[in-house]
Structure 1
Amino acid sequence: MKEKILELLKNSGNDFLSGQKISEALGVSRAAIWKHINRIKEDGYKIEAISRKGYRIISSPDILTFEEIRNHLNTESIGKNIIYCDSVDSTNLKAKELAEVGQEHGTVVISEEQTTGRGRLGRNFISPKHKGIWMSIILRPDIITENISQITLIGAAAVQSAIMKMGVKTSIKWPNDIVLNSKKVCGILTEMSGEINHINYLIMGIGVNVNLDEEDIPLDLKEKATSIKLENGKSMDRKILLANILNIFEKLYIEFVQNDNIKETIDICRKNSILIGKDIQVINRGKVTTAKAIDISDKGELVIENNKGTIEHVVSGEVSIRGIYGYSE
């Protein structure tokens, strides 16, 4: 009921909406409406109420609910069902629980903070409250399991394009990090449930350091991690950035899953790669080798030239890549 009242108020714009009209539209008493209005205020909305005129929204809080981003969304399924949390241990864990009981494709679990967020290889992922975008998308793609790594590239391309759409130039560190001024601002963690020849579901966790301040970055991560705000000098609208990510992701995802076309994603990853043309380290099962990143293949593999001059194709998930210069994972 609270969400329906909020939707009516938002649709009325700057005009007042009378309690009587809300009552008639929703079939509830004006006393019930008044109680829900107070709950909406508790969520951080500033509501003006004038006798015989009604209610109108003066300002909205910086929260990432569906009601707050719906006007910026143009997707068919991705983000049309948002499970919003004030705080969770991990959005990936929550999304897995929901996927296991049949939650629909495209559902997004988003939280204002994570208390035990995780990155690749079990690393901790710092997720302070109201400062970033911490979300997980439930996906049910009808693809062969060997193409799962390409879904991660779609996530990276979507975040990269969404940030650049808002005027900030970032780069992609293949396959799953977004880098700004040689420091990480986003990590992507894709996890799968399925069998050898069948995918039950994928969970794509995306964490973006949007408006973190200096004190939010742990001392041991200051050389490796940053936020868009710290590097850009001003806060970014999290709602618009979130909607941009979901809009672009769905477009690239549909093109891949329905049309078997990953070209646009690969083009974005190539054009914005921080690795191509640079010397790198390939770490595989504890063994470190030096190589040069040559390209990203049409299938999304990292093409490298090893120290013996041999060309190799590295598949996401098999190795870790660390840049020798500047940024390192």
Structure 2
Amino acid sequence: MSPSLTAASLSERLAGVGLARHIRFYAELGSTNDEAFDLARQGAPEGTVVVADRQTRGRGRMQRVWVSPPGRNLYLSLVLRPDIAPEQAPQLSIVAGVAAAEALWGLCPGVTLKWPNDVLVRGRKLCGILAEMRAAAGRLDFVILGIGVNVNLLREECPPEIAGIATSLREETGGALSRAEVAAVLLRSLETAYRIYCREGFSPLRARWLERTDMAGKPVRVVAGTDVYEGRMAGLDDAGALLLEEKTGGIRAVMAGDASLVKG
């Protein structure tokens, strides 16, 4: 049996975590990101965390469905109100990726980062991040960081379309984990990374992201809608865009798309 997730278990393990001062737990939601966005629009402060046992309309990047059965995984969204310009908001997806990878490494050594915001183990997806923001009159109002972690999902429970590309902490470690404990480890790591970001800027987190990826310096293909870009990964720019060194010798910055290593 997977350990149950409750408001009490979350409150106990998240005590003292500044980015989890206001915890809202739901047995079921359409989407934790949608709920957190609505709460932020109503004035919810930084450190508001929305957690659901089940999502009926969970989603990842590009409106892809995030499989969200009850009793298995961790689905949470966090309200942030950083004092940054709207064009800097994509940096927070990189910051969250670093925090998630460092937290999950302690539970499952061997995790890597795939641009822009996937945490993988042995090439299979363990965790995904969806960042959304609201800005007005050139000022950033808030950012919602949605994080989904496959905790106790079994391979036979995966829909056929993701069975070959997804994994979970349970599949990788051989044992069930407390989702509340995973939430605590994740949010403590995120709090540390976010404080560094607010104090020192993006550069130290970008460096840590590059240390955790296996894409650096390798041939990469990015599919962005109908456009396809290829080149050697040369790093990340100041906005978190992927830098590709193309065959011409030029550097292309790609802000969004599906990236993969070019094999062979």
Q: How big is the shift at 1:196?
A: 5.2
Structure 1 CA distance, aligned partners of 2:250 and 2:58?
38
SS for the counterpart of 2:143 is: strand
Pair 1:65 & 2:65 matched:
no
Q: What corresponds to 1:152 in structure 2? A: 93
Specify which of 261, 270, 275 is matched with residue 215 of structure 2. 275
Q: Which amino acid aligns with 1:304?
A: L
Match of 2:241 in 1: 301
**Structure-1 residue corresponding to 2:259:** 321
5 Å-filtered alignment, 1:168-317, equals 168-195=109-136, 197-257=138-198, 259-297=199-237, 300-315=240-255
Q: 1:73: Cα distance to partner?
A: 4.4
Displacement of 1:109: 0.3
Q: Which has the higher contact order (CA 8 A, sep 6+)?
A: 2
Between the aligned partners of 1:224 and 1:212, the Cα distance in structure 2 is 13
**Deviation per residue, 1:123-163 (Å, 9 max, x gap):** 10001112111011011111011111111111111110111
Percent of paired sites with the same residue = 29
When residues 181 and 275 of structure 1 are mapped into structure 2, their CA distance, relative to the original with a 3 A threshold, is same
Q: Mean Cα displacement is larger for which, 218-227 or 177-186?
A: 218-227
Structure 2 vs 1, CA of residues 129 and 324 (structure 1 numbering), >3 Å: closer, same or farther?
farther
CA distance in 2, matches of 1:244, 1:194: 30
CA distance in 2, matches of 1:201, 1:299: 17
Separation (CA, whole Å) in 1 of partners of 2:70 and 2:5: 10
Alpha-carbon distance between aligned partners in 2 of 1:62 and 1:119, rounded to the nearest angstrom = 24
Q: Secondary structure at the match of 1:226?
A: coil
SS of equivalent to 1:225: coil
Answering whether residue 75 of structure 2 is matched by residue 137 of structure 1, we say no
What is the rounded CA distance, in whole Å, between the counterparts of 1:260 and 1:251 in structure 2? 12
Cα pair 2:93 2:117 within 8 Å, conserved: yes
| Residue identity matched to 2:218 | K
Distance 1:188 1:65, change over 3 A: same
CA distance in 2, matches of 1:142, 1:150: 13
The runs of 5 or more residues in structure 1 that have no matched partner are 1-60
| Contact 1:303 1:312 (8 Å CA) reproduced | yes
TM-score (normalizing by structure 2): 0.91
Query: Shift in Å at residue 102 of structure 1?
Result: 1.0
Aligned counterpart, 1:128:
69
Distance 1:260 1:147, change over 3 A: farther
- Matching residue within 3, 13, 17 for 1:75: 17
- Quote how far apart the aligned CAs of 1:96 are: 1.4
- How far did residue 90 of structure 1 move? 0.5
Q: Matches of 1:218 and 1:296 in 2, distance apart?
A: 33
Which residue, out of 97, 103, 106, partners 2:38? 97
**Cα RMSD between the aligned structures?**
2.1
Is this contact kept in 2: 1:66–1:81, CA < 8 A?
no
Task: Tell me if structure 2 keeps the 8 A contact 1:275–1:323.
Answer: yes
- Higher-Rg structure is 1
Separation in structure 2 between the aligned mates of residue 267 and residue 197 of structure 1, nearest angstrom: 28
Which position in structure 2 is the counterpart of 1:109?
A: 50
Stretch deviating more after TM superposition (190-199 or 202-211): 190-199
User: How far 1:254 sits from its partner (Å)?
Assistant: 2.0
Q: TM-score of the superposition, structure 1-length normalised?
A: 0.74
